[in-house]
Chain A
């Protein structure tokens, strides 16, 4: 019996392995074709898009809220005032908040007195996407970290995992809090999170993001980080820039010149 069994196991295993071999030969594209090494690399890849933004604080005017207002109007972002339940896609906050882990000793007041625009960083390795239990947050083909509101269960795991405080939760019905209703974009409902989408609905029509268009000083530069000839790459080439909390390894796509 023992001999027989051994023989049997041997033969069936060989048959099984052969089966796998044959099937992988027959259905090549099953396992082989879809593997793209570039998916595991954070280097720039020609032919794919990674949208990014550069914020040049040398040009930004303190007290100007044009980008913030344009964003609110473009996406029907509700305004709950200055409460802890405020919803923001784009906001201006002091240096100590935006770059909370950067050193603040003896740096020029020129740097710290201005409030700096901050938004979702559309990270190349986004922690919110990993934390989301329903895959409502996902990374798009063009580097945008997108949010499918239909699928959001409102568990707030993404907010807890975002180091940039870029995601807001609708603690109550947002509609009454919308100042001016823009009928070309849907609102959200109570119980879902929301965040900046890099104006993907405007990109679709070939327009720049609303905040970029609204800025009178051309503070914001938007472009493809994977294209060496794009304006944003040229600026990155020539200037010393900063990312928010680079030590966390999320690879933000939003850069700052302070």
Chain B
């Protein structure tokens, strides 16, 4: 098989793409070193992180993202209007936990079975 100019161009393009991916990977993977004095926000449940309508339809999306990143990413969740919240289920339960049936009433109706309560104590599990 003869190596043509076209093959070389394709080869170089592939190489360039690999390098680009490598650079991208490095930047994405290297976690920025945050100085230890940077305070982690404590649980703040004074306001909801998004309008009720949005939360009704998208809470699972946000919670799933928090679930995936909350343990290792120390940066707080920043809402559209600039408020910061700790990515923790406790942030939500600080308010909503007061209503024992807040989660379950809807989930039961929709037959949704979130895995949260396998570990986290649902308001139902907590002694009143």
Q: Which of A53-61, A185-193, A228-236 contacts B (4 or more CB under 8 A)?
A: A185-193
Q: Which of A84-92, A112-120, A145-153, A158-166 contacts B (4 or more CB under 8 A)?
A: A145-153
Q: Which of B29-37, B47-55, B101-109 contacts A (4 or more CB under 8 A)?
A: B29-37
B114 within 8 Å of A (CB atoms)? no
Contact of A189 with B118 at beta-carbon distance under 8 Å, contacts A20-B19, A141-B36 already known:
yes
In contact, A30 and B23 (Cβ under 8 angstroms): yes
Q: Which of A4-12, A97-105, A211-219, A244-252 contacts B (4 or more CB under 8 A)?
A: A4-12
A43 within 8 Å of B (CB atoms)? no
B5 within 8 Å of A (CB atoms)? yes
- B42-72: CB near A (< 8 Å → 1, else 0) gives 1000000000000000000000000110011
Chain A residues within 8 Å of chain B by Cβ, number = 34
Nearest opposing residue in chain B for A173, CB measure: B118
How far does the Cβ of B125 sit from chain A's closest Cβ, in whole Å?
8
Contact of A141 with B34 at beta-carbon distance under 8 Å, contacts A12-B8, A16-B12 already known:
yes
Interface residues of B in 1-44 (CB under 8 A from A): 5, 8-9, 12, 15-16, 19, 23, 26-27, 30, 32-36, 40, 42
Nearest opposing residue in chain A for B68, CB measure: A150
Nearest opposing residue in chain A for B19, CB measure: A20
B74 within 8 Å of A (CB atoms)? yes
Within the assembled complex, what's the spacing in Å between the Cα atoms of A119 and B64?
31
Interface residues of A in 149-201 (CB under 8 A from B): 149-151, 181, 183, 186-189
Neighbouring A residues of B112 by C-beta, 8 Å:
none
A73 within 8 Å of B (CB atoms)? no
**Chain B interface size, under 10 / 10 to 19 / 20 to 34 / 35 or more:** 20 to 34
In contact, B40 and A204 (Cβ under 8 angstroms): yes
A95 within 8 Å of B (CB atoms)? no
In contact, A183 and B121 (Cβ under 8 angstroms): yes
Interface residues of A in 9-42 (CB under 8 A from B): 9, 12-13, 16, 19-20, 23, 29-31, 34, 36
B120 within 8 Å of A (CB atoms)? yes
Contact of A150 with B67 at beta-carbon distance under 8 Å, contacts A12-B8, A20-B19 already known:
yes
In contact, A47 and B36 (Cβ under 8 angstroms): yes
Within the assembled complex, what's the spacing in Å between the Cα atoms of A30 and B27?
6
A138 within 8 Å of B (CB atoms)? yes
A142 within 8 Å of B (CB atoms)? yes
Nearest opposing residue in chain B for A189, CB measure: B118
Neighbouring A residues of B118 by C-beta, 8 Å:
189
Nearest opposing residue in chain A for B120, CB measure: A186
What residues of chain A have their CB less than 8 Å away from a CB belonging to chain B? 5, 8-9, 12-13, 16, 19-20, 23, 29-31, 34, 36, 47-49, 138, 140-142, 146, 148-151, 181, 183, 186-189, 204-205
What are the nearest 6 A-B pairs in CB distance? A148-B71, A189-B118, A34-B30, A49-B36, A186-B119, A183-B126
